[in-house]
């Protein structure tokens, strides 16, 4: 019978409240494997409960000021959303098989619906997330999402894609500043220039990796030309050539992939710092201090473990990544962490949520 | 335990007790009742246990309690005679021997399911599908291909008729299939079959062949794809694969995509290779039946491979089956077609009739 919360009277004006992650790879592995088996045995029906348990596991183990977050979604509601979405996607697949023209129409409709689905998913997600029995909210009207979408698409087309850093800022701003925790609105301080700068660093890194890749291919090709002469085999023997190409691909492709995680880790670490670090919740601010080299080590370790374990290390990788990210996240409390729940019930449906789960709508902000 | 009233993010230390008459009371440290509704056990809802995390409970109102005293909560549930489902699940999730056994089973079952289960199920569904439905799959694909990559054939009408006559002879035993031969060009030497019985032959392939019987050998293989409904099966196998990946990885993040991408590509390639072998079996049988030496198939496949100048240079079009030649080597597991040399060996060594 202990009270882990602090009395407002002794709370200093400003204090650091770290995010603490207490999840363990072994514990999550057992939950994950049971989820997988039950989902398979029930032909996917259990996947809604599996989702709830997975989310709840990571939420409960993420603690701020001694209290974990809570994921409140009703699995039945998740299931309903999934059923509708699976039916819709099933129709799309059937159309693809029977009528490619109508299929394209279907895909176009899906794209037109995607801002609405995204907003629905964000609302659902926020509404089902709580801390100390106060829920989060996502308040943006769907019309605003459509206006934003139109602007983003227009800008991208007009600038031939060069506006991507700016449209990404617009989207992140839309998400970050439309959330609420209880009656406390979120706000976002990150400036477009900061994301542009991030891209200015990231793009050359990316290009360097690709350049290395092509230099590698050239070397292999030259070697392939020279090798038969060196080995004294028949020149241009297709079998030898194929062996060389295969061997080079087997070694080269994973290396290339591993090399690509370098700019990716840089981008994701910085992006997370900009996204979370720019956030305020009412008077409180957030600090995110992910480091490129540290995140890269986590990524590469995870990659190696996943490959060597044929995917079974997935729970370990997920826990490790989450633990790292949260270890670098701090809430800077300006005053007591007491928030009123506030008013307002909004329509939430699990359909948008299900769409994100099936990977049809990608909401990857890079964190 | 702590009680959060749902109005403010501020908790009060509280005690939940069950008395001898099976009434609940929820009191703060001073003995004040926190929720007058919190009396009847029927209204109490406790979140199921999950690892060693704190559990929450509520009485249908806005307030929520949270407790780390997992034993006390389990005892309360036990006294009320419920929560057995949650406890059973938690027991399942807490035992390493069970988890490791399940892990091994999922691994083996997954591999077996991918290797035999999914193709078998797809085949059963494809076979059970009514003829006209199965042959409607991919209708309109030709129209899309015509407006995108394919160009009209430049072959003389007489030449087309000649080839069409041979094709009809081959197709004669399968009069239930709505087979039609079409000529196009623009995608290199190739032939492919659509599920509706449309078989496409490119001018480039016609030019590559040194004997019409080589073309008939390829066409026999294409008829095999239509006969075995490979188009439908490929679509079904692909759908089953994405569902499996989604179930296993759940909310896949960037790590999930990496982890899922390779095995999925591998499985898809294996499904496709199995279809090619089945179509080859069909071609062999059909050619022998039509009195054409299967050796012609080996000749044209080798010519195709030589002309492609390397593995996998043919265009890939979803829902159709562009023929591909494929080199042997470490990458063969990821190719849509089995290594050409392995495929043609049995054709090339077919005994010539005396
Ligand atoms: Zn084929």
CA distance A295 to A366: 13
Supply φ then ψ for residue A17, to 5 degrees.
-115, 105
Size of interface A-B (CB pairs under 8 A): 195
- Taking the CA of residue B113 and the nearest CA in chain A, the distance in Å comes to 11
| Concatenated DSSP letters of A160-206 | TTTTHHHHHHHHHHHHHHTEEETTEEEEE---HHHHHHHHHHHHHHH
A95 at B interface, C-beta within 8 A = no
- Taking the CA of residue A233 and the nearest CA in chain B, the distance in Å comes to 18
Give chain B positions within 8 Å (CB) of A67.
Answer: 2, 11, 66
Nearest CA to B66 out of B26, B29, B93 is that of B26
Supply φ then ψ for residue A366, to 5 degrees.
90, 30
Q: How many CA atoms lie within 13 A of B44 on its CB side?
A: 27
Report the DSSP beta bridge partners of residue A279: A188
| Token pair listed for A40 | 């398979």
Q: How far does residue A238's CA lie from ligand 1's centre (Å)?
A: 23
- Angle at CA A154, nearest 5°, toward A149 and A160? 125
What pLDDT is attached to residue A31?
Answer: 93
Sort residue B66 into left (φ over 0), alpha (ψ -120 to 50) or beta: beta
Mean pLDDT, residues B96-120? 87
| DSSP H or E run through B256 | helix B254-290
Q: Which residue of A has its CA nearest to B12?
A: A3
pTM of the model: 0.79
A27 at B interface, C-beta within 8 A = yes
Tens digit of each residue's pLDDT (9 = 90 or more) over B106-117:
888 878 888 888
CA distance A136 to A130: 6
Q: Which residues contact B79 (CB under 8 A, 6 or more apart)?
A: B18
Provide ipTM, 2 decimals.
0.79
Tens digit of each residue's pLDDT (9 = 90 or more) over A206-243:
899 888 888 877 777 777 666 666 665 554 555 555 56
Q: How far does residue B209's CA lie from ligand 1's centre (Å)?
A: 17
A51 at B interface, C-beta within 8 A = yes
Instruction: Pick out chain A residues at pLDDT < 50.
Output: 1-5, 11, 235, 345-346, 358-367
A43 at B interface, C-beta within 8 A = no
* Residue among B12, B138, B330 whose CB faces A97 most closely: B138
- Taking the CA of residue A144 and the nearest CA in chain B, the distance in Å comes to 27
CA distance B41 to A286: 41
Q: Which residues contact A295 (CB under 8 A, 6 or more apart)?
A: A265, A268, A269, A324
CA distance A291 to A269: 6
- Taking the CA of residue A362 and the nearest CA in chain B, the distance in Å comes to 10
What pLDDT is attached to residue A70?
Answer: 93
Give chain B positions within 8 Å (CB) of A340.
Answer: 7-8
* Residue among B106, B239, B263 whose CB faces A33 most closely: B106
CA distance A357 to A117: 12
Q: How far does residue A25's CA lie from ligand 1's centre (Å)?
A: 45
CA distance B183 to B206: 10
| DSSP H or E run through A317 | helix A314-327
3-state secondary structure of A74: coil
Q: Which residue of B has its CA nearest to A1?
A: B1
CA distance B191 to B107: 38
Q: Which range is least confidently modeled, A31-45, A73-87, B61-75, B210-224?
A: A73-87
| Token pair listed for A317 | 């990788």
* Residue among B1, B11, B140 whose CB faces A100 most closely: B140
CB B179 within 8 A of CB B199: yes
């Amino acid at each position: 019978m202990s009270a882990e919360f602090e009395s407002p009277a002794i709370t200093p004006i400003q204090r650091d409240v770290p995010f603490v992650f207490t999840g363990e790879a072994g514990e999550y592995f057992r939950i994950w494997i049971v989820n997988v088996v039950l989902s398979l045995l029930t032909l996917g029906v259990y996947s809604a409960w599996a989702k709830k348990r997975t989310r709840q596991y990571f939420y409960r183990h993420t603690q701020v000021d001694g209290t974990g977050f809570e994921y409140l979604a009703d699995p039945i509601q998740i299931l309903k959303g999934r059923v509708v979405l699976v039916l819709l996607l099933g129709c799309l697949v059937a159309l693809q098989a029977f009528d490619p023209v109508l299929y394209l129409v279907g895909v176009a409709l899906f794209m037109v619906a995607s801002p609405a689905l995204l907003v629905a998913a964000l609302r659902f997600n926020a509404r089902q997330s709580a801390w100390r029995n106060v829920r989060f909210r996502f308040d943006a009207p769907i019309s605003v999402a459509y206006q934003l979408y139109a602007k983003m698409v227009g800008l991208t087309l007009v600038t031939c894609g060069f506006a991507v850093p700016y449209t990404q800022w617009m989207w992140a701003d839309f998400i970050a500043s439309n959330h609420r925790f209880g009656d406390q609105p979120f706000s976002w301080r990150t400036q477009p220039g900061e994301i542009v700068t991030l891209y200015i660093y990231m793009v050359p890194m990316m290009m360097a990796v690709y350049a290395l890749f092509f230099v590698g291919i050239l070397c292999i090709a030259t070697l392939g030309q020279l090798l038969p002469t060196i080995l004294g085999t028949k020149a241009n023997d297709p079998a030898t050539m194929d062996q060389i190409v295969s061997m080079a691909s087997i070694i080269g492709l994973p290396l290339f992939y591993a090399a690509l995680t370098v700019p990716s880790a840089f981008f994701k670490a910085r992006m997370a710092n900009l996204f979370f670090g720019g956030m305020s919740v009412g008077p409180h601010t957030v600090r995110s201090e992910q480091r490129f080299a540290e995140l890269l080590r986590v990524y590469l370790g995870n990659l190696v473990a996943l490959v060597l374990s044929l995917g079974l290390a997935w729970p370990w990788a997920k826990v490790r990544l989450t633990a790292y990210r949260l270890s670098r996240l701090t809430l800077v409390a300006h005053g007591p962490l007491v928030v009123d729940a506030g008013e307002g019930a909004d329509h939430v449906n699990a359909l948008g949520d299900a769409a994100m789960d099936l990977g049809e709508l990608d909401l990857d902000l890079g964190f | 335990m702590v009680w959060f009233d749902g109005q403010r993010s501020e908790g009060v230390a509280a005690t939940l007790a069950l008395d001898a008459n099976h009434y609940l009371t929820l009191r703060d440290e001073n003995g004040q009742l926190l929720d007058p509704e919190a009396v009847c056990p029927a209204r109490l809802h406790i979140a199921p246990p999950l690892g060693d995390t704190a559990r929450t409970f509520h009485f249908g109102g806005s307030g929520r309690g949270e407790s780390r005293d997992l034993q006390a909560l389990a005892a309360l549930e036990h006294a009320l005679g419920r929560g057995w489902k949650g406890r059973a699940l938690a027991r399942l999730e807490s035992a390493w021997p069970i988890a490791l056994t399940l892990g091994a089973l999922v691994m083996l079952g997954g591999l077996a399911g991918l290797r035999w289960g999914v193709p078998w199920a797809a085949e059963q569904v494809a076979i059970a599908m009514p003829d006209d439905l199965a042959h409607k799959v991919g209708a309109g694909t030709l129209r899309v291909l015509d407006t995108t990559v394919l160009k009209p054939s430049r072959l003389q009408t007489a030449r087309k008729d000649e080839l069409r006559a041979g094709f009809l002879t081959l197709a004669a035993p399968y009069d239930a299939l709505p087979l039609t031969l079409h000529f196009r060009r623009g995608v290199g030497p190739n032939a492919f079959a659509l599920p509706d019985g449309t078989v496409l032959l490119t001018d480039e392939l016609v030019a590559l062949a040194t004997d019409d019987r080589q073309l008939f050998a390829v066409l026999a293989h294409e008829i095999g794809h239509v006969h075995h409904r490979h188009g439908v099966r490929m679509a079904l196998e692909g759908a089953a694969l994405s569902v499996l990946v989604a179930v296993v990885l759940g909310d896949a993040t960037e790590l999930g995509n990496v982890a899922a991408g390779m095995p999925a590509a591998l499985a898809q390639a294996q499904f496709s290779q199995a279809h090619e072998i089945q179509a080859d079996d069909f071609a062999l049988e059909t050619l022998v039946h039509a009195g054409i030496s299967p050796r012609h198939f080996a000749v044209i496949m080798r010519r195709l491979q030589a002309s492609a100048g390397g593995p996998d240079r043919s265009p890939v079009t979803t829902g159709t089956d562009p023929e591909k030649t494929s080199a042997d080597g470490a990458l063969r597991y990821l190719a849509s077609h089995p290594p050409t040399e392995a495929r043609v060996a049995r054709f090339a060594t077919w005994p010539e009739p005396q």
